[in-house]
Structure 1
Amino acid sequence: MFWFCSLTKEAKKWFYRQRMSNMLTGVDYPLLNRLFISILLTVMFLNILLVLGTFIFMEGFAWFAHKYIMHGLMWNWHESHHVHHKGWWETNDLFGIIFGVTATALIVTGSEIESLRWLMYVGFGITLYGISYFIFHDVIVHRRVKIKFKTRNRYLNRIIRAHYVHHKVHERDGAEAFGFLYAPKKYEKL
């Protein structure tokens, strides 16, 4: 991945030098221009794959963190999410802040340091997952944003049911269904 960042940097330099030369001499190099465009499209495709791959990885990481960290070492934060409370803030929201700061740091680092450009796309993937999590978990399931939402979509209903099963247990141990955007088919009909 590192060589791709420097390759595109050199390709951009070459392309602009070539364009200037073409403008001055009137000579065009269509084959080389197509090669440059192919390289750029390949880089764009790999960057999109990196964003989507990070998004998919985050579901597995979120499952692991939810089961072993939030219901483990950091239960003192996560417990606020399993008990009824008044107000909009839960200590559990600190996890979202941690993920948000991490994603922001990756995006800034990747955008500032050319050789670490790939980190920017990892940050975009984490951000995309965070937005999806917020919409599904906080808006649709827990109704922390007051909107009317009804669905007949089997996938969404399965995830919602799985999350409700998870919240039947108000203790650190004994819970199941730790995923956020994926739930096994056993939660299809309860």
Structure 2
Amino acid sequence: MSTQAVVPYFTQVILSHRNATGVTDAFAIVHFFGNTFETAAQVAEVKRLGLDGLFAWLNGPANPILEYGSLGEVDAAVEAQLRVLRPLGIPLLSYEGGQHLLAGGSMRGDLQLESILDRVNRAPRMRSVYLKYLASWHNRTGQPLQHYVHCDRWSVYGKWGAEEYASQPRARAPKLDALLAFIASSPL
């Protein structure tokens, strides 16, 4: 069974249908950090924060303008899902995850915003954000995380790839470097 990460109520409803708990061997959620920035207020906040401010938000407390997406909020959503699943003896899995810093709706294509999002994803500091994110997931669930995309050219539709092109040097792909470092230090 599966659902979104941030709404444990959906998990309860899904598992309460007929005999769902009796036939469910695992429950999977989408597990991303970051957000889709769709409002003028969110875009203005991203521009005001810039690179340093976005990293502070990802690593720090919630930002009411940017809404959900900091590592702390994502970790709290995982714990909320586990509170539903633990009493049922159902393990929590990830069906996709990684960073989710995206311009959406009419904000897509804003060149200044896209530049900031590209720089955040390419910044060496993204490696440490990923390592914290992966460690938090692993420590809470004991399960591997399914990263959404290994290799993909970034665009206004997302910066999903851990690397932007197949021959990208690992030193220039902080998300890929973090994934490989984490795998090496935490084998299954």
Which TM-score band applies after superposition, normalised by the shorter structure? under 0.3
Compare CA radii of gyration and give the structure with the larger one.
1
Determine which structure has the larger strand proportion and give its number: 2
